[in-house]
Amino acid sequence: MSDEKFPGWHGTTIIGVRKGNKVVVAGDGQVSLGQTVIKGTARKVRRLSPGGYDVVAGFAGSTADAFTLLERLEVKLEAAPGQLARACVELAKDWRTDKYLKNLEAMLIVTDGKDLFVITGAGDVLEPEHDIAAIGSGGNFALAAARGLMESDLDAEGVARKAMKIASDICVYTNGNLTVESIG
């Protein structure tokens, strides 16, 4: 996201962790504009249930843009029930080529408990290595922390919560008010 286009605007931290038979997506609640915290309790992790098919999604970036993308993802999932990878690829194709969508500034982490993907506006649908995906301004901090915690006795939720705590201690655009959704 270009600082010229969004002066003083910063993201958030979202992490997805798969460990054992469980996938957890966690996100902080801070919304910042420049040096000011606008809101500390935003919900950036959502459960989607198109056609009874359970999906958890977290977003970083513009809230309005992310909601537009989540709505489009739901439509794609309704058209291809139980096929998260296909729905994500279709969304990424639209996002990259559609005149309106290609200007949206957000990133998504999505999971159905089996697959875990990062979707970007560049047309990427990425399966993360090491069963961890992280996005947003504190994403690299959370990712590094989670990779170090994966060999511990913590379950997926424990890894996600601890990694988010570490990220919130380092990244000024991330707070400790978490929304956590699990699947599996």
User: Alpha-carbon distance 8 to 38, whole Å?
Assistant: 12
Half-sphere exposure of 172 (CA within 13 A, CB side): 8
- Indicate which residue of 12, 13, 111, 174 is catalytic: 12
User: Alpha-carbon distance 138 to 135, whole Å?
Assistant: 7
Question: What is the length of the chain?
Answer: 184
Closest by CA to 134, choosing from 147, 151, 153, 121, is 147
Answer for the pair 156, 17: CB distance below 8 angstroms, yes or no: yes
User: Alpha-carbon distance 160 to 132, whole Å?
Assistant: 9
Please confirm, yes or no, whether 12 is among the known catalytic residues: yes
Other CB atoms within 10 Å distance of the CB of residue 62: 17
Other CB atoms within 10 Å distance of the CB of residue 114: 13
Would you name the residues annotated as active-site residues? Answer: 12
